[in-house]
């Protein structure tokens, strides 16, 4: 069994601390800041085996080298982007597996936000570390890829089991809900989820992880018929 918990960093980012319960292996995903992540690691026992990077942006990688030096963790990320990432011990590509304690994760290439973006699926914990590809009620901006690429990437993630926990890289859900409700004002599942998120945020709690079943029912970017419709919706969100 693998568990995940968010570590709040920067202004609205999350690093994710993963633990494989049987052997106590520990990983962190997208540690943009070293100090708050190290504090969480030390509070959990001071062990870090693996650093997983979803993409090359500094707000996902900035603390990598400091954490590697402190804990001796290996760093995994996209071979495609090895020149734009911290030095990789495990260069990865679509379909690769990542050993993690007694479990393993599957690498899913999701170009769109960046060309080398990777997501990590851990069936043992029903976890998807989705970086900036899939947000709760949203998706990443198309900084490098095309709408066709992002649509295809989201389709791959949408095909995962419905009970998958979506662990994304930012606390954007409330803002995403405002746009989603304009796009689909009559979506009852969306209205209910938006109210749930508002209550969580009012209490200072994270809105994530969400469940993929919820995203399929409420996320407007998973509810478009084709790449053209996705491109139009993404363009409206960019202007929102």
Q: Please say if 56 is a catalytic residue.
A: no
| Catalytic residue, candidates 30, 49, 56, 57 | 57
Assess whether 132 carries a catalytic annotation: yes
Q: Show Cβ contacts of residue 132 under 8 Å, excluding neighbours closer than 6 positions.
A: 54, 55, 57, 60, 113, 114, 117, 140, 168, 169, 170
Q: Is residue 117 flagged as an active site residue? A: no
8 A C-beta contact, residue 135 and residue 184:
no
Which one is catalytic: 56, 113, 117, 121?
A: 113
Q: Rounded to whole angstroms, how far apart are CA atoms 173 and 209?
A: 10
State yes or no: is 60 an active-site residue: yes
C-alpha 152/C-alpha 148 separation (Å) is: 6
Catalytic residue among 56, 117, 121, 170: 170
Could you confirm whether 55 is annotated as catalytic?
A: yes
C-alpha–C-alpha distance, residues 227 and 86, integer Å: 33
Which one of the listed residues 60, 81, 117, 121 is annotated catalytic? 60
Q: Find the catalytic residue in 30, 49, 81, 132.
A: 132
Sheet containing 2-9, strands listed edge to edge, beginning at the edge strand earlier in sequence? 2-9, 13-20, 25-29, 50-52, 74-78, 90-92
Residue 57 appears among annotated catalytic residues: yes
CA 147, CA 196: separation in Å to the nearest integer?
A: 30
Which 3 state secondary structure label does DSSP give 116?
Answer: coil
Of the candidates 59, 65, 94, 96, the residue annotated as catalytic is 59
- Of 55, 56, 117, 121, which one is the catalytic site residue? 55
Which residues are CB-neighbours of 29 under 8 A, at least 6 positions away? 15, 16, 18, 51, 52, 53, 54, 120, 129, 131, 167
List the catalytic residues. Answer: 55, 57, 59-60, 113, 132, 170
């Amino acid at each position: 069994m693998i568990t995940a918990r968010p570590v709040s960093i920067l202004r609205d980012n999350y690093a994710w601390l993963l633990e494989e319960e049987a052997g106590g292996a520990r990983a962190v995903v997208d540690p943009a800041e070293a100090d708050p992540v190290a504090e969480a690691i030390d509070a959990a026992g001071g062990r870090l085996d693996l650093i997983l990077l979803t993409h090359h942006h500094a707000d996902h990688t900035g603390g990598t080298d400091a954490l590697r030096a402190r804990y001796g963790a290996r760093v995994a990320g996209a071979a495609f982007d090895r020149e734009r990432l911290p030095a990789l011990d495990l260069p990865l590509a679509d379909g690769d597996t990542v050993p993690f304690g007694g479990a393993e994760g599957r690498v899913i290439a999701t170009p769109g936000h960046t060309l080398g973006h990777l997501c990590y699926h851990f069936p043992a914990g029903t976890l998807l570390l989705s970086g900036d590809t899939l947000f709760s009620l949203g998706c990443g901006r198309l900084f490098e890829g095309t709408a066709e690429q992002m649509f295809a990437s989201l389709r791959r993630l949408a095909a995962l089991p419905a009970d998958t926990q979506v662990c994304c890289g930012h606390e954007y859900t409330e803002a995403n809900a405002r746009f989603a409700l304009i796009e689909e004002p009559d979506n009852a599942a969306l209205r209910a989820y938006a109210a749930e998120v508002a209550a969580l945020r009012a209490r200072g709690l994270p809105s994530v992880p969400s469940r993929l079943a919820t995203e399929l029912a409420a996320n407007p970017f998973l509810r478009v018929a084709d790449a053209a419709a996705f491109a139009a919706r993404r363009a409206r969100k960019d202007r929102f």
